[in-house]
Amino acid sequence: MTPLSTRRAFRGTASLFALAFAATFSAGANAQTAQAQSEETAPEEQATDAAPPQADEIIVTGIRASLASASDRKKNAGTTVDSIVAEDVGRFPDRNVGEALSRISGVQLQRDFGEGVKVSIRGVEPDLNRVEVNGATALSSGGDRSGDFRELAAELIKSVDVYKGYQVDLTEGGVGGTVSIQTRRPLELRGPLLSINGSLQNVDTVGSEWKPRGTIVAGTKFLDDRFGVLVNATYDRNKTRGDFIRNTEWVRLADLNGDGRKNTENANFGSISTLAGCDAVPTTTDDPQANRLACQTQFYDFSPRTPRVGLWERDDERWSIDAQIQAELASNLTAFVGFQYNKMDRHLVDYNLGFDLSAVSRVVTGDSVEVDENGNVIGITTAPWTSGGSVVGPSMRDFQFVQDTKYWTAGFKWEVGNLTVDGLAVLSSGGHTNATNNIGIGANPDGVRIQLDPENGAPRFIFPDDFDVTDINSYMYGPGDRTVVSVDWRPNLNEQTEDQFKLDFDWEIEHPVVSSVEFGGQYRRLTSTRYAGGGYLALNDDGTTFMVPTANRDIDAVVNGDPEDFSDTTNPYVFTWSPDRLADFFAASSGVTPGTFFNAPGFNRDNLFDGWATPTFAAVNEFFDTSEFNFDCVRECEGYPQLPAFDISEKITAGYLKFNIEAQPFGMDLRGNIGLRVVRTQDKATGSNIIRERRPANNAVGYEDVEVGRQIISIDNDYTDLLPAFNFALFVTPEVILRADWSRVMARPKFNDLAPNSNCLFDLTPEGSGDGDLDDCSAGNPRLKPYRAAQFNIGAEWYPTRDTSLAVTYYQKNIDSFILSSTLVSNVDFFGDGRVFDVRQPINGEGATQRGVEVSGQTAFTFLPSPFDGLGISANYTYSTSSNVDLINQLTGDTLPYPFLSEHSFNIKPYYEKYGISIAVPVQYRSEYLVSAADRTGNPVFHDGELYVDARIGYEFRLGPVERFEIFAEGKNLTGEVDRLTAGDIRMTSLGYYGRRYFLGFRANF
């Protein structure tokens, strides 16, 4: 949302939110006199047909039953927790687990092409929250720890618990919280089960295409109900599209309009009021914020480095299967084995059109440059081409991405007298293969005007009259110009595994305060490996060197007016084409982007073209040799092993002791637990150290980067954490609970942040040697400390009826250490030899504090006269803030907030459920938040506030042998919300529209 629409949305829903809580109190008061209300029961949270009701029993199903069951779980939990329950097979509240989680207070969703992918909990980024499925870690294939909610079919799920407090029998790793997902077990069945779900889904950005989704759940019990089998299979075909308008990376190149105005203030130069005054400042100083460039930067304008547009299509096929066998081996012993497999096969097609404005020579400076009052460039024109890279060009990617995960689980529960023993073993693996390619055209039409919307920063591109953006021939070579056609291949693959073995003991004892003692141990071994092209300078036995080829390929065809085609004698992947050859390529391998670009509701499309001409892969093999575009050189090449981008192994050993407490002080029930968990982590991180030199090019024009050395690095790191936890709940009355907890928590760094890889560039060109700037390194950081924090929650909860509840919680996290990705640190003695570098790497931040208040409530308006007694509502609001966050905006010098923390967020879900009809309209809002303190160029990335409105309507009835048959329609993002990222102010970096999603389907439970 734009800032203006966000404020209006917040104000517009505030009264509705207040009304929801007023209704909660009113419903609670009225419910005290409603006898039927107190007698209601809900079906068990089991994969089952309901047992025959008694004559006086009211059966509550659907939305109302799910909310009531979740409320029961919260009330009886051992720590601060929120839950989601599927009261029947295939009736999980959302189609996506992440979208359902985001309805919980303090949980915010990250979307990809409109679908929920990851969640942050109380402002803690997704990688620092633990997600587990039946106790098994949800694997990630991308080198992080956050998992992907798209791969898990919602139809599999029985319940989800979001632990915001901590108790020591929980596996550590969730600083924001732990998401514990449970699927159904066979022996929970009350009888034979068959459930079938089917639907068609459409996204309005892809036109009229409807794609299928189907789920079958079948299970039964044998041998006097002592042996059970349960199988769930899901197939999902999903086509989506994202349209993007971007100003990727804002930079400060110069005082482009020459007005000599200071746009920012640097305290080191308060006495210097003109740009010329900076000439007296030394070029190099110990403090990088006190050198000449830092002084000059005060006067430089903010300009977009790469204004561009993109149209990205995704066509996914997803399969998910979960099979479980459970047996009662004895009256006191049950065991189970299970297998879960998830696969996503994605076809990606990306169309892009971008401008490279990374150098002053590429734009016209002076009066024609429009700059607003804050120093932001809002109008600029491209300059005639002189030399170097291309200014503008369309490109396309067309490739496959395959991701899968496998989980083998086995466990048992053994009850011996007062002792219960639970065992769990998990073998899991996952990964992806990514066959990334790209074909692009680079050209240099001068006089293209790039005008930014002064309200939202969205760029518009105004081409000269003789340039048709929809005609590929506009990119033909012209006199004094050149055209380049490039084809790239960038294969990569990731692999991740985890082996887990766990034993838990629960010993019930007779004691006036301690009701039971729990203790146990856990061992986990994780690995994460990434291969990304490879290629390196290797050493022979005789001391000579040779190159192990990379799997990456870059092929360029240059058109500069030469009438003949020929190959470069020094580089077999560079060719010169004649203009005629280029014309043949355009005729055989080009097209125009599909549909209407960025047709978002209410968006001003003035001066925005409907589409643009693009190269395609249709006939690329006729013009380029792509025989090496494969995975033959990814793991090894020509008999030599490739160096992985990173190879991390991690061993975790943990043990805990926990005392469960039950007492009756002053006649009130006190329940709780205290305990200690001890965890040791041992990491081994392997990567490579690359040394490159920037040298003057052989043709004396420009420069070339040459790799002069590479070595393997392995670094060990280990640390031990003591994690105490105290949790108490005082039942003042059976309906009123006061809850408090305190604990220490930790989460480990992302695998790709731990990789010791470094890439250092020594600038040996005359310009680089004399500019006074330090040489650069980018690197991982295997010495990163884990994320550590002490946290507490204090809350009050009220449960006047099964349908009605109200909870208020104050929380605080005192953060000892957290992790900042891609942070520039100057004057680093990187190799320990006295040479200092500017190093960009993840580092630890320290000392931040988060605090906030969560308010949640729900009720069913059963006191209203029929038919309005089917109405109900659930709602929550979270206020969060932070302090002592030592983060600086490298673009402006201002202080930054804590990453991923929205100050305000709320959910409102009104619903109606009666006569077989169910209607729900969830509304979700979160305010602006910081995504990253520094992107690749050091700029911060903010995400605008967003408001999403969804709706679902269904009708359930009996249909012959089908006891419960439902037809439904559902819509997501009905208001057409756009996704906006900025570097602050109007410095928009990305504006994305993913469309509105619609579903039509049925559900049949036999």
On average, the pLDDT of the chain sits at: 87
The answer on pLDDT for 504 being more than 90 is yes
The answer on pLDDT for 75 being more than 50 is yes
The answer on pLDDT for 25 being more than 60 is no
pLDDT in tens, 104-152: 999 988 888 988 888 999 988 888 899 999 999 998 877 678 888 887 7
More confident site: 758 or 633: 633
Q: Following DSSP, what letter does each residue of 171-235 receive, concatenated?
A: PS--SS-EEEEEE--GGG-SS-EEEEEEEEEEEGGGTT--EEEEEEEEEEEETTTTEEEEEEEEE
Mean pLDDT of all residues in 614-632: 94
The answer on pLDDT for 57 being more than 90 is no
Show the 3-state SS of 4-72.
Answer: HHHHHHHHHHHHHHHHHHHHHHHHHHHHCCCHHHHCCECCCCCCCCCCCCCCCCCECCHHHHHHHHHHH
Half-sphere exposure of 889 (CA within 13 A, CB side): 21
Confirm if 460 and 450 have CB atoms less than 8 A apart. yes
pLDDT at residue 934 in the model: 78
The answer on pLDDT for 466 being more than 70 is yes
**Alpha-carbon gap, residue 140 to 120, rounded angstroms:** 16
The tokens describing 243, both together, are: 């349209």
Mean pLDDT of all residues in 612-639: 94
115 to 155, 241, 919: CA distances (angstroms):
16, 11, 21
- Residue 17 pLDDT grade (very low, low, confident, very high; cuts 50, 70, 90): very low
pLDDT at residue 89 in the model: 62
Of 151-160, 627-636, 908-917, the range with the lowest mean pLDDT is 151-160
Class of CATH domain 3-200? mainly beta
**Alpha-carbon gap, residue 92 to 86, rounded angstroms:** 5
Of 387-396, 636-645, 962-971, the range with the lowest mean pLDDT is 387-396
The tokens describing 803, both together, are: 């349908």
Mean pLDDT of all residues in 251-280: 93
pLDDT at residue 9 in the model: 46
The answer on pLDDT for 88 being more than 80 is no
Task: Give strand ranges (E) for 252-332.
Answer: 303-330
The tokens describing 401, both together, are: 């991405």
Confirm if 491 and 551 have CB atoms less than 8 A apart. yes
Output the CA angle 39-45-51, nearest 5 degrees.
65
The answer on pLDDT for 376 being more than 70 is yes
pLDDT in tens, 397-407: 999 999 999 99
Q: Which residues contact 323 (CB under 8 A, 6 or more apart)?
A: 229, 230, 231, 232, 338, 339, 340
Domain ranges of the chain: 3-200
Confirm if 626 and 487 have CB atoms less than 8 A apart. yes
The answer on pLDDT for 600 being more than 70 is yes
How is the beta sheet containing 130-133 ordered, strand by strand?
A: 81-85, 157-163, 178-183, 130-133, 136-137
Task: Give strand ranges (E) for 664-748.
Answer: 669-696, 703-731, 736-747
- Residue 56 pLDDT grade (very low, low, confident, very high; cuts 50, 70, 90): very low
pLDDT at residue 38 in the model: 38
**Alpha-carbon gap, residue 403 to 343, rounded angstroms:** 6
597 to 369, 552, 609, 683, 993: CA distances (angstroms):
27, 32, 7, 47, 10
Of 191-200, 530-539, 645-654, 872-881, the range with the lowest mean pLDDT is 530-539
Mean pLDDT of all residues in 306-323: 95
- Residue 537 pLDDT grade (very low, low, confident, very high; cuts 50, 70, 90): confident
pLDDT at residue 988 in the model: 94
Output the CA angle 725-81-881, nearest 5 degrees.
85
**Alpha-carbon gap, residue 1000 to 987, rounded angstroms:** 40
pLDDT at residue 833 in the model: 78
More confident site: 887 or 867: 867
The answer on pLDDT for 180 being more than 90 is yes
pLDDT at residue 571 in the model: 82
pLDDT at residue 487 in the model: 97
The tokens describing 370, both together, are: 């429009």
Confirm if 576 and 568 have CB atoms less than 8 A apart. yes
pLDDT at residue 27 in the model: 45
